[in-house]
Amino acid sequence: AAGWDDAPEGALEVVLPMNGGKLRRLGLLVPENGVYRTVKLYAAKKADKFMGEVQVGQWSDWVYDNMLDDKGVKRPVAYKLRLFELAEDGSKLELYVSSACRLEADPNYTYPREIGQELLDHCGPIVNASNAGRPYAEIGQETWALNLDWCADAINYLLDNKPWDLFYCHLHAIDVANHNMLSDVVPESPRYERFYPLLVKYYENIDQVLGKLMKQLDKGDTTIFVVSDHAGLPRQFGYPKPLIADSWGIVVDIMRELGFTKTIKDENGVTQIDWEHTTAVSQRSGYIYVNLKGREPHGIVEPADYEATLDKIIDALYAYRDPQTHERIVDAILKPAAMEAVGLYGEHVGDLYFTLHHHFCQDHASSFSSEEAYGFSMRCLFFAAGPGVKKNTVMERRVRQVDIVPTICALQEGPVPDKCEGGIIYQMIE
Protein backbone atom coordinates (compact mmCIF):
# COMPACT_ATOMS: atom_id res chain seq x y z
CA ALA A 1 0.00 0.00 0.00
CA ALA A 2 1.59 3.27 -1.13
CA GLY A 3 0.45 6.88 -0.96
CA TRP A 4 -2.06 6.41 1.85
CA ASP A 5 -2.43 8.80 4.77
CA ASP A 6 -3.20 6.19 7.42
CA ALA A 7 -2.07 2.82 6.05
CA PRO A 8 -0.36 0.80 8.81
CA GLU A 9 2.96 -0.88 8.17
CA GLY A 10 2.60 -4.00 6.05
CA ALA A 11 -0.84 -3.07 4.72
CA LEU A 12 -1.77 -4.15 1.18
CA GLU A 13 -4.09 -2.41 -1.26
CA VAL A 14 -6.55 -3.72 -3.84
CA VAL A 15 -8.64 -1.95 -6.47
CA LEU A 16 -12.31 -3.02 -6.30
CA PRO A 17 -14.52 -2.51 -9.36
CA MET A 18 -18.01 -1.47 -8.24
CA ASN A 19 -21.32 -0.36 -9.72
CA GLY A 20 -21.02 -2.69 -12.71
CA GLY A 21 -17.49 -1.45 -13.38
CA LYS A 22 -18.52 2.22 -13.55
CA LEU A 23 -16.78 3.11 -10.29
CA ARG A 24 -13.73 2.01 -8.34
CA ARG A 25 -13.23 1.74 -4.62
CA LEU A 26 -10.04 0.92 -2.79
CA GLY A 27 -9.56 -1.85 -0.29
CA LEU A 28 -6.89 -1.64 2.39
CA LEU A 29 -5.87 -5.04 3.77
CA VAL A 30 -4.84 -4.51 7.36
CA PRO A 31 -2.49 -7.00 9.11
CA GLU A 32 -2.95 -8.16 12.68
CA ASN A 33 0.20 -9.74 14.09
CA GLY A 34 1.32 -10.42 10.52
CA VAL A 35 -1.96 -12.07 9.48
CA TYR A 36 -4.45 -10.36 7.16
CA ARG A 37 -8.00 -10.57 8.46
CA THR A 38 -9.57 -7.17 7.78
CA VAL A 39 -10.44 -5.12 4.69
CA LYS A 40 -11.25 -1.43 4.97
CA LEU A 41 -13.10 0.24 2.10
CA TYR A 42 -12.11 3.72 0.92
CA ALA A 43 -13.30 6.08 -1.80
CA ALA A 44 -9.74 7.37 -2.27
CA LYS A 45 -6.32 6.99 -0.68
CA LYS A 46 -6.46 10.54 0.68
CA ALA A 47 -9.97 10.15 2.13
CA ASP A 48 -10.43 11.35 5.70
CA LYS A 49 -11.88 8.02 6.83
CA PHE A 50 -12.83 4.63 5.53
CA MET A 51 -16.39 3.93 4.31
CA GLY A 52 -16.67 0.52 5.92
CA GLU A 53 -14.68 -2.43 7.19
CA VAL A 54 -15.20 -6.15 7.30
CA GLN A 55 -13.35 -9.09 8.80
CA VAL A 56 -12.96 -12.50 7.21
CA GLY A 57 -16.08 -14.64 7.60
CA GLN A 58 -18.24 -11.69 8.69
CA TRP A 59 -20.60 -9.04 7.35
CA SER A 60 -19.89 -5.34 7.55
CA ASP A 61 -22.24 -2.70 8.86
CA TRP A 62 -24.01 -0.62 6.23
CA VAL A 63 -21.70 1.15 3.81
CA TYR A 64 -23.12 4.47 2.62
CA ASP A 65 -21.96 5.48 -0.84
CA ASN A 66 -23.01 7.08 -4.12
CA MET A 67 -23.43 5.08 -7.31
CA LEU A 68 -24.54 5.78 -10.85
CA ASP A 69 -27.96 4.62 -12.05
CA ASP A 70 -28.66 3.40 -15.59
CA LYS A 71 -28.86 7.00 -16.80
CA GLY A 72 -25.57 8.03 -15.21
CA VAL A 73 -27.19 9.97 -12.38
CA LYS A 74 -25.39 9.68 -9.04
CA ARG A 75 -27.66 8.27 -6.34
CA PRO A 76 -27.13 7.74 -2.61
CA VAL A 77 -27.08 4.02 -1.80
CA ALA A 78 -26.28 1.60 0.99
CA TYR A 79 -24.79 -1.88 0.75
CA LYS A 80 -23.02 -4.46 2.88
CA LEU A 81 -19.75 -6.33 2.47
CA ARG A 82 -19.09 -9.98 3.26
CA LEU A 83 -15.46 -11.07 3.35
CA PHE A 84 -15.86 -14.62 2.13
CA GLU A 85 -12.16 -15.48 2.06
CA LEU A 86 -8.88 -13.73 2.80
CA ALA A 87 -5.57 -15.57 2.66
CA GLU A 88 -3.45 -15.03 5.76
CA ASP A 89 -0.67 -13.58 3.61
CA GLY A 90 -3.12 -11.34 1.74
CA SER A 91 -2.47 -13.08 -1.59
CA LYS A 92 -6.11 -13.99 -2.26
CA LEU A 93 -9.33 -12.13 -1.57
CA GLU A 94 -12.99 -13.03 -2.14
CA LEU A 95 -15.22 -10.13 -1.22
CA TYR A 96 -18.99 -10.13 -1.70
CA VAL A 97 -20.68 -6.78 -2.25
CA SER A 98 -24.43 -6.93 -1.70
CA SER A 99 -26.98 -5.32 -3.97
CA ALA A 100 -27.02 -1.55 -3.54
CA CYS A 101 -30.21 -0.24 -1.97
CA ARG A 102 -31.20 3.19 -3.18
CA LEU A 103 -31.83 5.50 -0.25
CA GLU A 104 -34.22 7.56 -2.37
CA ALA A 105 -37.09 5.13 -2.75
CA ASP A 106 -38.18 4.55 -6.35
CA PRO A 107 -41.82 5.70 -6.41
CA ASN A 108 -42.68 3.09 -9.04
CA TYR A 109 -41.95 0.23 -6.63
CA THR A 110 -44.64 0.91 -4.05
CA TYR A 111 -48.26 1.94 -3.75
CA PRO A 112 -49.08 4.33 -2.22
CA ARG A 113 -45.87 5.80 -3.66
CA GLU A 114 -44.74 7.49 -0.46
CA ILE A 115 -44.77 4.25 1.53
CA GLY A 116 -41.42 3.18 0.03
CA GLN A 117 -39.52 6.08 1.53
CA GLU A 118 -41.40 5.68 4.80
CA LEU A 119 -40.29 2.05 5.06
CA LEU A 120 -36.68 2.99 4.30
CA ASP A 121 -36.78 5.71 6.92
CA HIS A 122 -38.20 3.46 9.64
CA CYS A 123 -36.75 0.04 8.76
CA GLY A 124 -33.49 0.99 7.09
CA PRO A 125 -31.96 -0.23 3.81
CA ILE A 126 -32.67 -3.62 2.28
CA VAL A 127 -30.28 -6.40 1.28
CA ASN A 128 -31.65 -8.26 -1.72
CA ALA A 129 -31.01 -11.98 -2.02
CA SER A 130 -27.75 -12.85 -3.75
CA ASN A 131 -27.55 -14.34 -7.23
CA ALA A 132 -23.92 -15.36 -6.73
CA GLY A 133 -24.86 -18.98 -7.46
CA ARG A 134 -24.17 -22.41 -6.03
CA PRO A 135 -20.43 -21.93 -5.37
CA TYR A 136 -21.47 -19.25 -2.88
CA ALA A 137 -24.61 -20.94 -1.56
CA GLU A 138 -23.83 -19.70 1.95
CA ILE A 139 -24.00 -16.11 0.67
CA GLY A 140 -27.41 -16.89 -0.78
CA GLN A 141 -28.72 -18.09 2.58
CA GLU A 142 -27.17 -15.23 4.53
CA THR A 143 -28.52 -12.54 2.20
CA TRP A 144 -31.97 -14.12 2.40
CA ALA A 145 -31.69 -14.04 6.19
CA LEU A 146 -30.92 -10.31 6.09
CA ASN A 147 -33.72 -9.70 3.61
CA LEU A 148 -36.28 -11.65 5.66
CA ASP A 149 -35.32 -9.84 8.84
CA TRP A 150 -36.05 -6.55 7.09
CA CYS A 151 -39.36 -7.95 5.81
CA ALA A 152 -40.42 -8.86 9.35
CA ASP A 153 -39.61 -5.37 10.60
CA ALA A 154 -41.43 -3.76 7.67
CA ILE A 155 -44.52 -5.94 8.15
CA ASN A 156 -44.70 -5.14 11.86
CA TYR A 157 -44.23 -1.43 11.13
CA LEU A 158 -47.15 -1.46 8.70
CA LEU A 159 -49.39 -3.50 10.98
CA ASP A 160 -48.62 -1.26 13.95
CA ASN A 161 -48.94 2.08 12.18
CA LYS A 162 -51.46 1.73 9.33
CA PRO A 163 -55.17 0.91 9.33
CA TRP A 164 -55.78 -2.55 7.90
CA ASP A 165 -58.29 -5.39 7.75
CA LEU A 166 -56.44 -8.06 5.82
CA PHE A 167 -52.67 -8.29 5.27
CA TYR A 168 -50.97 -10.66 2.82
CA CYS A 169 -47.22 -11.21 2.52
CA HIS A 170 -45.26 -13.63 0.37
CA LEU A 171 -41.80 -14.85 1.42
CA HIS A 172 -39.97 -16.67 -1.36
CA ALA A 173 -36.80 -17.87 0.36
CA ILE A 174 -37.61 -21.58 0.79
CA ASP A 175 -38.79 -21.78 -2.82
CA VAL A 176 -35.42 -20.50 -4.05
CA ALA A 177 -33.56 -22.81 -1.67
CA ASN A 178 -35.44 -25.82 -3.01
CA HIS A 179 -34.66 -24.87 -6.61
CA ASN A 180 -30.98 -24.44 -5.82
CA MET A 181 -30.18 -27.39 -3.58
CA LEU A 182 -33.04 -29.83 -3.03
CA SER A 183 -31.45 -32.63 -5.04
CA ASP A 184 -28.23 -32.22 -3.02
CA VAL A 185 -29.84 -32.68 0.39
CA VAL A 186 -30.25 -36.44 -0.02
CA PRO A 187 -27.80 -38.50 2.07
CA GLU A 188 -26.09 -40.08 -0.96
CA SER A 189 -25.08 -36.70 -2.37
CA PRO A 190 -21.43 -35.71 -1.83
CA ARG A 191 -22.73 -32.19 -1.13
CA TYR A 192 -25.18 -33.35 1.54
CA GLU A 193 -23.05 -32.26 4.51
CA ARG A 194 -22.82 -28.76 3.10
CA PHE A 195 -26.30 -28.18 1.67
CA TYR A 196 -28.59 -29.91 4.17
CA PRO A 197 -27.68 -27.55 7.05
CA LEU A 198 -28.13 -24.61 4.66
CA LEU A 199 -31.64 -25.75 3.76
CA VAL A 200 -32.49 -26.07 7.45
CA LYS A 201 -31.28 -22.50 7.98
CA TYR A 202 -33.77 -21.23 5.39
CA TYR A 203 -36.59 -22.79 7.41
CA GLU A 204 -35.15 -21.28 10.58
CA ASN A 205 -35.05 -17.87 8.91
CA ILE A 206 -38.76 -18.13 8.10
CA ASP A 207 -39.39 -19.27 11.68
CA GLN A 208 -37.66 -16.12 12.89
CA VAL A 209 -39.94 -13.97 10.73
CA LEU A 210 -42.97 -15.72 12.23
CA GLY A 211 -41.50 -15.24 15.69
CA LYS A 212 -41.34 -11.49 15.14
CA LEU A 213 -44.90 -11.43 13.79
CA MET A 214 -46.33 -13.42 16.70
CA LYS A 215 -46.53 -10.22 18.75
CA GLN A 216 -49.51 -9.28 16.58
CA LEU A 217 -51.49 -12.01 18.34
CA ASP A 218 -51.16 -10.03 21.58
CA LYS A 219 -53.55 -7.42 20.16
CA GLY A 220 -56.37 -9.88 20.72
CA ASP A 221 -58.12 -9.35 17.39
CA THR A 222 -55.52 -10.70 14.95
CA THR A 223 -55.38 -14.18 13.41
CA ILE A 224 -52.34 -15.48 11.54
CA PHE A 225 -52.47 -18.00 8.69
CA VAL A 226 -49.33 -19.71 7.40
CA VAL A 227 -49.77 -21.36 4.00
CA SER A 228 -47.34 -22.72 1.41
CA ASP A 229 -48.29 -22.55 -2.24
CA HIS A 230 -46.40 -25.71 -3.18
CA ALA A 231 -43.63 -28.01 -2.02
CA GLY A 232 -40.79 -29.83 -3.74
CA LEU A 233 -39.14 -33.22 -4.05
CA PRO A 234 -35.49 -34.14 -4.62
CA ARG A 235 -34.57 -36.38 -7.53
CA GLN A 236 -33.46 -39.90 -6.83
CA PHE A 237 -29.69 -39.75 -6.35
CA GLY A 238 -27.80 -40.57 -9.53
CA TYR A 239 -30.76 -39.87 -11.79
CA PRO A 240 -30.30 -37.20 -14.48
CA LYS A 241 -32.32 -34.03 -14.68
CA PRO A 242 -35.10 -34.86 -17.16
CA LEU A 243 -35.02 -32.80 -20.34
CA ILE A 244 -38.72 -32.02 -20.07
CA ALA A 245 -40.95 -30.34 -17.47
CA ASP A 246 -39.15 -27.19 -16.42
CA SER A 247 -40.53 -24.21 -14.51
CA TRP A 248 -38.58 -21.67 -16.53
CA GLY A 249 -40.00 -22.02 -20.03
CA ILE A 250 -39.94 -24.27 -23.07
CA VAL A 251 -37.70 -27.37 -22.92
CA VAL A 252 -37.19 -28.86 -26.36
CA ASP A 253 -34.93 -31.89 -25.91
CA ILE A 254 -37.29 -34.87 -25.46
CA MET A 255 -40.11 -33.34 -27.49
CA ARG A 256 -37.61 -32.72 -30.30
CA GLU A 257 -36.29 -36.28 -30.03
CA LEU A 258 -39.87 -37.55 -30.34
CA GLY A 259 -40.44 -35.36 -33.41
CA PHE A 260 -43.05 -32.97 -32.01
CA THR A 261 -40.83 -29.90 -31.64
CA LYS A 262 -38.54 -28.73 -34.46
CA THR A 263 -35.71 -26.24 -33.98
CA ILE A 264 -33.46 -24.14 -36.22
CA LYS A 265 -30.44 -21.92 -35.65
CA ASP A 266 -30.88 -18.20 -36.28
CA GLU A 267 -28.25 -15.95 -37.84
CA ASN A 268 -26.55 -15.60 -34.43
CA GLY A 269 -26.37 -19.34 -33.88
CA VAL A 270 -29.12 -19.28 -31.22
CA THR A 271 -31.56 -22.20 -31.19
CA GLN A 272 -35.10 -21.11 -32.07
CA ILE A 273 -38.30 -23.09 -32.42
CA ASP A 274 -39.30 -23.74 -36.02
CA TRP A 275 -42.98 -23.08 -35.52
CA GLU A 276 -43.87 -23.89 -39.14
CA HIS A 277 -42.89 -27.51 -38.49
CA THR A 278 -43.64 -27.86 -34.75
CA THR A 279 -46.63 -29.92 -33.63
CA ALA A 280 -46.39 -29.29 -29.88
CA VAL A 281 -44.11 -27.91 -27.16
CA SER A 282 -43.54 -28.71 -23.49
CA GLN A 283 -43.77 -25.55 -21.44
CA ARG A 284 -44.18 -24.49 -17.79
CA SER A 285 -43.62 -27.66 -15.75
CA GLY A 286 -45.99 -30.39 -16.84
CA TYR A 287 -47.95 -28.65 -19.59
CA ILE A 288 -47.85 -29.55 -23.28
CA TYR A 289 -49.35 -27.14 -25.79
CA VAL A 290 -50.45 -28.22 -29.24
CA ASN A 291 -49.54 -25.79 -32.04
CA LEU A 292 -53.19 -25.56 -33.04
CA LYS A 293 -54.22 -23.74 -36.21
CA GLY A 294 -56.56 -20.84 -35.52
CA ARG A 295 -55.45 -20.54 -31.89
CA GLU A 296 -51.67 -20.18 -32.04
CA PRO A 297 -49.95 -17.49 -34.15
CA HIS A 298 -48.14 -20.09 -36.30
CA GLY A 299 -50.50 -23.04 -35.76
CA ILE A 300 -50.12 -26.02 -38.10
CA VAL A 301 -52.29 -28.71 -36.44
CA GLU A 302 -55.76 -28.82 -37.95
CA PRO A 303 -58.59 -28.76 -35.38
CA ALA A 304 -59.87 -32.01 -36.89
CA ASP A 305 -56.52 -33.65 -35.98
CA TYR A 306 -56.43 -32.30 -32.41
CA GLU A 307 -57.55 -35.44 -30.56
CA ALA A 308 -55.38 -37.72 -32.67
CA THR A 309 -52.39 -35.46 -31.97
CA LEU A 310 -53.02 -35.68 -28.23
CA ASP A 311 -53.14 -39.47 -28.41
CA LYS A 312 -49.93 -39.58 -30.44
CA ILE A 313 -48.11 -37.45 -27.86
CA ILE A 314 -49.47 -39.55 -24.99
CA ASP A 315 -48.33 -42.79 -26.63
CA ALA A 316 -44.87 -41.40 -27.32
CA LEU A 317 -44.32 -40.03 -23.81
CA TYR A 318 -45.49 -43.21 -22.10
CA ALA A 319 -43.14 -45.21 -24.33
CA TYR A 320 -40.15 -42.93 -23.78
CA ARG A 321 -37.36 -44.28 -21.58
CA ASP A 322 -34.53 -42.29 -20.04
CA PRO A 323 -31.39 -43.29 -21.96
CA GLN A 324 -29.30 -43.55 -18.76
CA THR A 325 -31.62 -45.45 -16.40
CA HIS A 326 -33.94 -47.02 -19.03
CA GLU A 327 -36.89 -46.09 -16.83
CA ARG A 328 -40.05 -44.34 -17.90
CA ILE A 329 -39.89 -40.64 -17.02
CA VAL A 330 -43.57 -39.76 -17.29
CA ASP A 331 -45.91 -41.17 -14.65
CA ALA A 332 -49.35 -39.93 -15.71
CA ILE A 333 -50.76 -37.85 -18.58
CA LEU A 334 -54.11 -36.10 -18.44
CA LYS A 335 -56.28 -34.71 -21.21
CA PRO A 336 -58.28 -31.50 -20.60
CA ALA A 337 -61.36 -33.28 -19.25
CA ALA A 338 -59.27 -35.26 -16.75
CA MET A 339 -57.19 -32.20 -15.88
CA GLU A 340 -60.32 -30.49 -14.60
CA ALA A 341 -60.67 -33.18 -11.93
CA VAL A 342 -57.43 -31.97 -10.32
CA GLY A 343 -58.26 -28.28 -10.64
CA LEU A 344 -56.51 -27.49 -13.92
CA TYR A 345 -58.83 -25.70 -16.32
CA GLY A 346 -59.35 -22.35 -17.97
CA GLU A 347 -57.97 -20.65 -21.03
CA HIS A 348 -54.32 -20.70 -19.95
CA VAL A 349 -53.78 -24.38 -19.11
CA GLY A 350 -52.09 -26.66 -21.62
CA ASP A 351 -53.65 -29.27 -23.85
CA LEU A 352 -52.05 -32.05 -21.82
CA TYR A 353 -50.71 -32.21 -18.30
CA PHE A 354 -48.19 -34.84 -17.27
CA THR A 355 -46.50 -35.78 -14.02
CA LEU A 356 -42.99 -37.11 -13.64
CA HIS A 357 -42.05 -40.31 -11.88
CA HIS A 358 -40.70 -39.16 -8.51
CA HIS A 359 -37.24 -40.51 -9.37
CA PHE A 360 -36.96 -37.65 -11.88
CA CYS A 361 -38.66 -34.88 -9.92
CA GLN A 362 -37.26 -31.37 -10.20
CA ASP A 363 -38.17 -27.79 -9.33
CA HIS A 364 -41.76 -27.96 -8.07
CA ALA A 365 -41.57 -31.70 -8.70
CA SER A 366 -44.18 -31.89 -11.50
CA SER A 367 -45.95 -34.58 -9.53
CA PHE A 368 -49.17 -35.07 -7.61
CA SER A 369 -49.29 -33.62 -4.12
CA SER A 370 -49.34 -37.06 -2.50
CA GLU A 371 -45.82 -37.96 -3.68
CA GLU A 372 -43.04 -38.48 -1.12
CA ALA A 373 -39.31 -39.19 -1.32
CA TYR A 374 -36.40 -39.13 1.14
CA GLY A 375 -38.67 -37.84 3.89
CA PHE A 376 -39.76 -34.89 1.73
CA SER A 377 -43.25 -34.60 0.34
CA MET A 378 -45.28 -32.46 -2.02
CA ARG A 379 -47.83 -31.71 0.70
CA CYS A 380 -48.31 -28.05 1.46
CA LEU A 381 -48.08 -26.46 4.89
CA PHE A 382 -51.04 -24.95 6.73
CA PHE A 383 -51.53 -23.72 10.25
CA ALA A 384 -53.31 -20.86 11.94
CA ALA A 385 -53.52 -19.18 15.33
CA GLY A 386 -55.54 -16.41 16.91
CA PRO A 387 -59.10 -15.47 17.82
CA GLY A 388 -61.68 -17.86 16.42
CA VAL A 389 -59.16 -20.67 15.84
CA LYS A 390 -59.13 -23.83 17.93
CA LYS A 391 -56.07 -24.17 20.15
CA ASN A 392 -53.70 -27.14 20.25
CA THR A 393 -55.66 -28.99 17.59
CA VAL A 394 -54.49 -31.08 14.65
CA MET A 395 -57.16 -31.50 11.98
CA GLU A 396 -57.84 -34.72 10.16
CA ARG A 397 -59.34 -32.78 7.26
CA ARG A 398 -57.24 -32.18 4.17
CA VAL A 399 -56.97 -28.49 3.50
CA ARG A 400 -56.81 -27.18 -0.06
CA GLN A 401 -55.42 -23.81 -1.04
CA VAL A 402 -58.84 -22.72 -2.29
CA ASP A 403 -60.22 -23.25 1.23
CA ILE A 404 -58.16 -20.42 2.71
CA VAL A 405 -60.12 -17.44 1.37
CA PRO A 406 -63.61 -18.62 2.43
CA THR A 407 -62.26 -19.49 5.88
CA ILE A 408 -60.83 -15.98 6.29
CA CYS A 409 -64.19 -14.60 5.20
CA ALA A 410 -65.96 -16.73 7.80
CA LEU A 411 -63.63 -15.60 10.60
CA GLN A 412 -64.30 -11.99 9.63
CA GLU A 413 -68.04 -12.76 9.58
CA GLY A 414 -68.18 -11.52 6.03
CA PRO A 415 -69.71 -12.98 2.86
CA VAL A 416 -67.88 -15.61 0.85
CA PRO A 417 -67.30 -14.44 -2.76
CA ASP A 418 -69.74 -16.06 -5.15
CA LYS A 419 -66.91 -17.26 -7.44
CA CYS A 420 -65.05 -18.86 -4.53
CA GLU A 421 -64.44 -22.58 -5.12
CA GLY A 422 -63.18 -23.64 -1.71
CA GLY A 423 -65.03 -24.57 1.43
CA ILE A 424 -64.88 -23.05 4.90
CA ILE A 425 -62.58 -25.06 7.17
CA TYR A 426 -65.15 -25.51 9.92
CA GLN A 427 -62.93 -28.03 11.71
CA MET A 428 -60.47 -25.27 12.68
CA ILE A 429 -63.03 -22.71 13.84
CA GLU A 430 -63.59 -22.46 17.58
Dihedral angle computed from the Cα positions of residues 242, 247, 253 and 254, in that order, rounded to the nearest 10 degrees: 60
pLDDT digits (tens, 9 = 90+) for 209-225: 999 999 999 999 999 99
Largest Cα–Cα distance of the chain, in whole Å? 83
Taking the alpha carbons at both ends of the chain, their separation in whole angstroms is 70
Q: Which amino acid would we find at residue 112? A: P
Average pLDDT of the chain? 93
Residue pair 82/62 in contact by the 8 Å Cβ criterion = no
Whether omega before 135 lies within 30 degrees of 0, making that bond cis, reads no
What pLDDT does 232 receive? Answer: 87
What pLDDT does 196 receive? Answer: 95
CB proximity list for 157: less than 8 A, separation 6 or greater: 119, 122, 123
What pLDDT does 222 receive? Answer: 95
The 3-state DSSP class for residue 333 equals: strand
What pLDDT does 356 receive? Answer: 92
What pLDDT does 109 receive? Answer: 85
State residue 150 phi and psi, 5-degree precision. -65, -45
Residue pair 220/372 in contact by the 8 Å Cβ criterion = no
What pLDDT does 171 receive? Answer: 95
230-to-282, 365, 366, 377 alpha-carbon distances in Å = 21, 9, 11, 10
Which is nearest to 291 in space by CA: 176, 303, 194? 303
Q: What is the 3-state secondary structure (H, E, C) of 136-177?
A: HHHHHHHHHHHHHHHHHHHHHHHHHHCCCCCCCCCCCHHHHH
75: buried, middle or exposed (CB in 10 Å: 19+, 13-18, 0-12)? middle
Residue pair 116/132 in contact by the 8 Å Cβ criterion = no
Cα–Cα distance, 340 to 335 (Å, whole number): 9
What pLDDT does 425 receive? Answer: 96
Classify the C-alpha dihedral 234-239-240-243 as positive or negative: negative
What pLDDT does 366 receive? Answer: 84
pLDDT digits (tens, 9 = 90+) for 137-173: 999 999 999 999 999 999 999 999 999 999 999 999 9
What b/e sequence results for 112-135 when a residue is b if at least 16 CB atoms lie within 10 Å of its CB, and e otherwise? eeebbebbbeebebbbebbeeeee
Helix (H) or strand (E) holding 281: strand 280-283
What pLDDT does 179 receive? Answer: 87
Give the residues of the chain that fall short of pLDDT 50: none
Which is nearest to 407 in space by CA: 227, 283, 244? 227
